[in-house]
């Protein structure tokens, strides 16, 4: 180490002034001195072009899946209060919106149905003229290149709001095995109506295997299953339950959906669905469970999906409308984080806005 005529010290071999004058010692480690400023991380951050070229994770329009709600009637586009910008749509309006979605470069939509009538077993879920079956046929005819994913669950169709058949006891529980038969029946009905992908969201044990057997038995061997494999009993579903009218009339779903505290169990659920024949595995919700998504990405070779659910969307939208957050920026940031954690498919109510910006 030596000093120049101005009293600045230099590190031999590097020719780098330490910026401390007149006798002060270098106050950083020799390792740091050897690195700095040879490695300046900001060099590739400051020019926007280089920053874009160095970006590790990219969200593509083809990854996005738009959830939509079908209702009976004609000319219906009813706003959902808890989800600004989202609507319940009659089939004719749904078809119009799907044309726009396809034109934006979005590859797929996820369809939910709100039937006109509900009963104890949710029979509207597998009716040939059910709301989702009707929507599938209409959209497939109008927009044949748009992939149609049909949610499979009974909660929107049962009078009690649970995802399966209830036991007759006073403390009614959801009966797993009798529910499997109805889920399989629903899946075949949806595939026959034109669903490209069947997506069971009920969290019954063994439902992927039951659905796979039923689809194969009815010659739908090429219809893939997107399993809601790690679906947590989350408080983030509130706005969806308002939109779909699917809140349980009594009790809750903690007896069959996952405990938010459990990560190892989530991975086991995903492995079981994969072994039963699922083609894509989902984590739901997305942002609070990115650790589960990342762990699954490291552990499983399966394609992965993540659902940015209604509560996540509602929080961001509410804050953006208040002016507390930059809405478009946070939208893309959260979608990028979901993709970075390992999602191949991203289900999000932001799909149209994101696709517009990404284009």
By annotation, the residues acting in catalysis are: 231, 284
What residues contact residue 144 under an 8 Å CB cut-off, 6+ apart? none
Contact (Cβ atoms closer than 8 angstroms) between residue 115 and residue 156: yes
What the block records as the tokens of 290 is 């990115």
Q: How many CA atoms lie within 13 A of 51 on its CB side?
A: 5
Task: Please provide residue 297's backbone torsions phi and psi, each rounded to the nearest 5 degrees.
Answer: -65, -40
The end-to-end CA distance of the chain, in Å, is 55
Residue 100: C-alpha distances to residues 14, 103, 303, 355 (Å) = 60, 5, 27, 11
Please classify residue 330 by burial: count the beta carbons closer than 10 Å to its beta carbon, then call 0-12 exposed, 13-18 middle and 19+ buried.
middle
Tokens 């019954």, residue located: 204
What is the rounded distance in angstroms from the CA atom of residue 248 to the CA atom of residue 48?
50
Q: How many CA atoms lie within 13 A of 213 on its CB side?
A: 10
| Alpha helices by DSSP H, the chain | 30-35, 48-54, 91-103, 131-142, 176-193, 207-217, 238-244, 264-276, 290-299, 310-321, 327-341, 351-358
Contact (Cβ atoms closer than 8 angstroms) between residue 335 and residue 308: yes
Contact (Cβ atoms closer than 8 angstroms) between residue 90 and residue 139: no
* Partners of 89 in the β-ladder: 70, 77
What residues contact residue 158 under an 8 Å CB cut-off, 6+ apart? 118, 119, 120, 121, 122
What is the rounded distance in angstroms from the CA atom of residue 96 to the CA atom of residue 113?
17
């Amino acid at each position: 180490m030596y000093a120049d005529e101005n009293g600045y010290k230099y590190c031999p071999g590097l020719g780098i002034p330490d910026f401390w004058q007149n006798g002060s010692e270098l106050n950083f480690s020799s390792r740091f001195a050897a690195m700095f400023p040879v490695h300046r991380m900001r060099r590739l951050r400051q020019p926007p072009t280089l920053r874009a070229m160095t970006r590790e994770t990219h969200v593509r329009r083809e990854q996005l899946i738009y959830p939509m709600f079908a209702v009976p009637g004609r000319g219906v586009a009813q706003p959902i209060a808890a989800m600004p910008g989202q609507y319940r749509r009659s089939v004719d309006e749904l078809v119009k919106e799907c044309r726009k979605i396809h034109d934006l470069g979005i590859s797929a939509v996820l369809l939910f149905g709100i039937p006109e009538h509900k009963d104890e077993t949710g029979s509207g879920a597998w009716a040939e003229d059910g709301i989702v079956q009707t929507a599938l046929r209409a959209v497939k005819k109008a927009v044949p290149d748009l992939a149609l994913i049909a949610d499979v669950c009974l909660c929107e169709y049962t009078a009690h709001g649970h995802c399966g058949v209830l036991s007759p006891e006073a403390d009614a529980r959801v009966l797993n095995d009798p529910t499997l038969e109805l889920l399989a029946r629903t899946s075949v009905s949806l595939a026959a109506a034109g669903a490209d992908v069947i997506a069971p969201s009920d969290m019954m044990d063994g439902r992927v295997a039951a659905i796979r057997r039923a689809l194969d038995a009815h010659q739908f061997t090429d219809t893939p299953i997107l399993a809601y494999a790690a679906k947590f009993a989350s408080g983030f579903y509130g706005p969806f339950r308002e939109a779909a009218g699917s809140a349980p009339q009594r009790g809750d779903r903690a007896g069959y959906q996952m405990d938010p505290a459990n990560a190892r169990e989530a991975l086991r659920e995903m492995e079981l669905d994969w072994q039963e024949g699922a083609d894509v595995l989902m984590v739901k919700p997305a942002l609070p469970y990115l650790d589960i998504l990342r762990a699954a990405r490291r552990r499983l070779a399966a394609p992965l999906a993540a659902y940015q659910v209604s509560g996540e969307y509602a929080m961001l939208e509410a804050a953006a409308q208040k002016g507390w957050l930059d809405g478009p920026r946070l939208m893309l940031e959260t979608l990028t984080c979901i993709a970075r954690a390992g999602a191949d498919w991203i289900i999000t109510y932001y799909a149209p806005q994101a696709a517009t910006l990404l284009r």
